[in-house]
Chains A and B, each alone.
Chain A
Amino acid sequence: MKSGRLVPLLFLAPALFLFGLLTIYPLVRVFLLSFFYTEYGFSGASFVGLENYAALLGDSFFRIATWNTIFFTVTATASEVGLGLLLALLVSKRFPGRFIVIPTLVAPFVLSTMVVTAIWRAWFHYDFGFLNNVLRAGGLPPVAWLFDPDIAIFSLVLVDVWQTVPLTFLILLAGLQSIQPEIYEAARMDGAGPRQILLRITIPLLIPHILLASLLRSIDSFKIFDKVYALTGGGPGQATETLSMYVYRLGFQFFDVGMASAAAVIMIVIAGALAALYAVRIMKGESHAG
Chain B
Amino acid sequence: MRGKVLRPALAYLVTALVLLPIVWMVGTSVKPPIEYVSPVVDLLPNAPTGEHYRQLIDDGILGKMLNSLIVSFGATFLALFAGFLAAYALVRLKLPKNADMAFLLFVLLIKLSPPIVLAIPLYQVLRTLGLLDTLAGLVLVYQVYALPFAIWMLLGFVRDVPVAYEEAALMDGASLFQRMVHVVVPLMTPGLIATAVFVLILCWNEFVYALLFIQTPSKFTLPTFIATLITEDETFWGRLSAIGFIASLPILALVGVVQKGLTRGFSGGLK
Shortest CB distance B252–A (Å): 7
Indicate whether A12 sits within 8 Å of B89 (C-beta atoms), given known contacts A42-B124, A107-B22, A264-B120.
Answer: yes
B19 at interface by CB-CB < 8 Å: yes
Check B125 for interface membership: any CB of A closer than 8 A: yes
By a CB distance below 8 angstroms, the chain A residues around B81 are 14
Q: In the assembly, what is the distance between CA of A1 and CA of B244, in Å?
A: 50
B230 touches A230 (CB 8 A): yes
Instruction: Decide yes or no whether B11 CB sits under 8 A from chain A.
Output: yes
- Bound-state CA distance A42–B123 (Å) is 11
Contact of B8 among A22, A96, A247 (CB under 8 A): A96
> Cβ of B192: which chain A residues have Cβ within 8 Å of it?
none
Q: Does B270 contact A (CB under 8 A)?
A: yes
Residue in A14, A96, A105, A137 whose CB lies within 8 Å of B15 = A105
Query: Which residues of B in the span 33-82 have a Cβ within 8 Å of any Cβ on A?
Result: 36-42, 78, 81-82
| Chain B residues, Cβ within 8 Å of A272 | 109, 112-113
- Of A47-55, A56-64, A87-95, A148-156, which binds chain B? A87-95
Interchain CB contact under 8 A, A282 and B270: yes
Known pairs A22-B141, A107-B252, A119-B25; A30 contacts B121 (CB<8 A): yes
Judged by a CB distance under 8 angstroms, whether A113 is at the interface is yes
CA distance A58 to B73 in the complex (A): 45
Instruction: Decide: A95 and B248 in contact? CB cutoff 8 A.
Output: no
- B contacts with A: majority SS: helix
Q: Which of A3, A15, A170 has the most CB of B within 10 A?
A: A15
Let me know if A113 and B121 touch, CB within 8 A: no
B114 interfacial by beta-carbon distance below 8 Å:
yes
Cross-interface CB contact of A22 among B22, B144, B151, cutoff 8 Å:
B144
Interface flag for B181 (CB, 8 Å): no
Checking B19, B90, B205, B247 against A104 with a beta-carbon cut-off of 8 angstroms, the contacting residue is: B19
Contact: A11 with B255, CB < 8 Å?
Answer: no
Give the complex CA separation of A266 and B180 in angstroms: 43
Indicate if B172 sits at the interface (CB-CB under 8 A): no
Task: Check B195 for interface membership: any CB of A closer than 8 A.
Answer: no
Q: Mark A97-130, 1 if CB is under 8 A from B, else 0.
A: 1100101111111111111011111110101101
- Residue A198 is within 8 A (CB to CB) of chain B in the complex: no
* B108/A278 in contact, CB under 8 A: yes
How far, in Å, is A196 (CB) from chain B's closest CB? Answer: 16
Within 8 Å by CB of A23, from B8, B18, B110, B226, lies: B110
What is the CA–CA distance of A29 and B115 in the complex, to the nearest angstrom? 15
Binary B-proximity of A1-21 (CB < 8 A = 1, otherwise 0): 111000110011011101101
Q: Which residues of A contact B24 (CB under 8 A)?
A: 119, 123, 130
Q: How far does the alpha carbon of A12 sit from the alpha carbon of B81 in the complex, in Å?
A: 11
Question: Whose C-beta in chain A lies nearest to the C-beta of B237?
Answer: A122
Please judge, given known A-B contacts A3-B93, A171-B267, A274-B112, whether A30 and B118 are in contact too, CB under 8 Å: yes
Task: Kindly identify which residue among B21, B115, B147, B231 contacts A119, using a CB–CB cutoff of 8 Å.
Answer: B21
Q: How far is the CB of B169 from chain A (nearest CB, A)?
A: 11
B161 within 8 Å of A (CB atoms): no
Interface residues of B (CB under 8 A from A): 7-8, 10-12, 14-15, 18-19, 21-22, 24-25, 28, 36-42, 78, 81-83, 85-86, 88-90, 92-95, 103, 105-106, 108-110, 112-122, 124-125, 140-141, 143-144, 147, 151, 163, 166-167, 170, 176, 201, 204-205, 207-208, 211-212, 222-224, 226-227, 229-231, 234-235, 237, 240-241, 243-244, 247-248, 251-252, 255-256, 259, 262-263, 266-268, 270-271
Extra 17 A-B pairs, beta carbons < 8 Å, given A105-B18, A267-B117: A18-B140, A26-B118, A29-B124, A105-B14, A108-B21, A112-B247, A114-B207, A114-B223, A118-B243, A122-B241, A123-B24, A130-B24, A137-B40, A162-B21, A167-B267, A212-B271, A230-B227
| Interface residues, chain A, with chain B CB atoms under 8 Å away | 1-3, 7-8, 11-12, 14-16, 18-19, 21-23, 25-27, 29-30, 33, 42, 87, 90-91, 93, 95-98, 101, 103-115, 117-123, 125, 127-128, 130, 132-134, 136-137, 162, 166-167, 170-171, 173-174, 212, 216, 219, 222-223, 225-226, 229-230, 243-244, 247-248, 251-252, 257, 260-261, 264-265, 267-268, 271-272, 274-275, 278-279, 282, 289-290
